[in-house]
């Protein structure tokens, strides 16, 4: 247990939600937190928007309200919203084969894989089977070619296997082949930019100075018994983008893996899940499209993550093991190291936690779990 003095708490806490701030600060006592933020929206009102600590490992730079941090796979929840908007516009259909929009994808026995199946991690492409350089991820055309040609890593129709990085390339390929823009561009031009939401896929270099420095996990995650799908997803030298340096990584668009955000921006975007398809009170997608987005597409033991999971079309459903509070209808997503965002449509509640001290938990990090438990204790 740390004996350090708790950092100063900054931001806003509505009356009645003080236990949330207490739970947030407790992470500096026993979880060795460095810097973090948490935001909570209830019925369209931001009732908690707090941050504390430091943006660098040496604790020399304060974490501010504008500090950005990579949220890794938590960004998948937002990528899924972008594709849902394309579905709502009639450009995509969840039940149509991916190959209808991306003909080359049908190679290797994948011609029948639907958009919904691909977005719910059922396409058998959890990693790139062909040995490559980690820098190849920065060449989208090269990665898309490999994914299109690759034979699924397991028998299709036998369950999900989490796609840590490849999910974003599949989603982005669908966006560009239907809308003509990348997911990052749609966010900048149509979703986040006009609303002043500080969420980015492809971070301009002008914003890099306000991005927090990460402290890497001190132990490796528990993946359970290793199989080919898990090894390719996480453990090969080319399993994730590398070799280009932090600046190029931040500027690149990896919708599944390198979104940069504040807690407030994530909580704002997640309101589309909690409020019947409305984003901050205005129609974003139809109720029917939202229902199709969060509908269970697969449920059971995941072939990559060591959990029983329920997936919608790119969003994790809270059925089991319940990382995001007690409401089964809640949806959310977690990111490598501990970040997460969630939306409870029963209570019209959204929340997000971001930090720069990375832990080894693949999901269910005790830091956000503690805060989310405090949230529901206040309701």
Nearest to 81 by CA among 329, 268, 261, 250: 268
Quickly count: other Cβ atoms within 10 Å of residue 183's Cβ: 31
* Known catalytic membership, residue 73: yes
How many whole angstroms separate alpha carbon 147 and alpha carbon 117? 15
- Both tokens of 11, joined, read 């931001």
Element (H, E) at 264: helix 263-269
How many whole angstroms separate alpha carbon 112 and alpha carbon 290? 24
Nearest to 258 by CA among 242, 274, 243, 270: 242
Dihedrals phi, psi of 304, to nearest 5 degrees: -120, -55
Longest dimension (CA), the chain: 59
Quickly count: other Cβ atoms within 10 Å of residue 291's Cβ: 13
Half-sphere exposure of 379 (CA within 13 A, CB side): 18
Nearest to 336 by CA among 315, 299, 305: 305
Nearest to 261 by CA among 54, 36, 32: 36
What SS3 string covers 47-94?
A: EEEEEEEECCCCCCCECCCCCEEEEEHHHHHHHHHHHHHHHHCCCCCC
- Both tokens of 12, joined, read 């806003």
Question: Which of 2, 41, 73, 126 is an active site residue?
Answer: 73
How many whole angstroms separate alpha carbon 325 and alpha carbon 374? 10
Q: So which residues are the catalytic ones?
A: 73
């Amino acid at each position: 247990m740390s004996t350090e003095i708790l950092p100063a708490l900054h931001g806003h806490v509505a009356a009645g939600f003080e236990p949330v701030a207490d739970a947030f600060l407790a992470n500096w006592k026993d979880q060795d937190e460095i810097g973090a933020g948490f935001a909570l929206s209830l019925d369209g009102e931001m009732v908690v928007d707090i941050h504390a600590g430091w943006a660098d490992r040496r604790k020399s730079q304060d974490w501010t309200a504008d500090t950005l941090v990579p949220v890794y796979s938590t960004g998948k929840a937002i990528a899924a919203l972008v594709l849902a908007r394309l579905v709502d516009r009639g450009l995509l259909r969840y039940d149509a084969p991916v190959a209808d929009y991306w003909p080359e994808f049908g190679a290797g026995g994948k011609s029948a894989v639907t958009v919904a199946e691909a977005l719910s991690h059922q396409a058998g492409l959890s990693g790139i089977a062909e040995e490559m350089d980690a820098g190849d991820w920065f060449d989208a055309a090269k990665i898309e070619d490999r994914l299109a040609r690759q034979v699924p890593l397991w028998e299709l129709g036998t369950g999900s296997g989490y796609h840590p990085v490849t999910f974003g390339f599949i989603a982005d390929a669908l966006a560009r082949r239907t809308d003509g823009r990348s997911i990052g561009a749609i966010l900048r031009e149509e979703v986040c930019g006009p609303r002043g939401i500080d969420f980015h896929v492809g971070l301009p270099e002008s914003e890099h100075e306000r991005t927090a420095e990460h402290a890497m996990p001190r132990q490796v995650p528990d993946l359970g018994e290793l199989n080919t799908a898990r090894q390719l997803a996480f453990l090969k030298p080319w399993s994730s983008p590398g070799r280009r340096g932090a600046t190029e990584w931040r500027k690149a668009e990896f919708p599944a893996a390198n979104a940069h955000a504040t807690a407030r921006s994530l909580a704002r975007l997640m309101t589309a899940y909690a409020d019947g398809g409305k984003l901050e009170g205005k129609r974003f997608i139809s109720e029917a499209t939202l229902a199709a987005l969060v509908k269970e597409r697969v449920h059971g033991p995941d072939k990559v993550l060591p959990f029983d999971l329920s997936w919608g079309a790119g969003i994790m459903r809270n059925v089991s093991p319940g990382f995001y509070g007690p409401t089964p209808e809640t949806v959310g997503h977690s990111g490598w190291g501990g970040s997460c965002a969630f939306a409870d449509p029963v209570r019209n509640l959204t929340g997000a936690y971001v930090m720069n001290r990375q832990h080894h938990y693949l999901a269910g990090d005790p830091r956000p779990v503690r805060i989310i438990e405090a949230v529901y204790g206040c309701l």
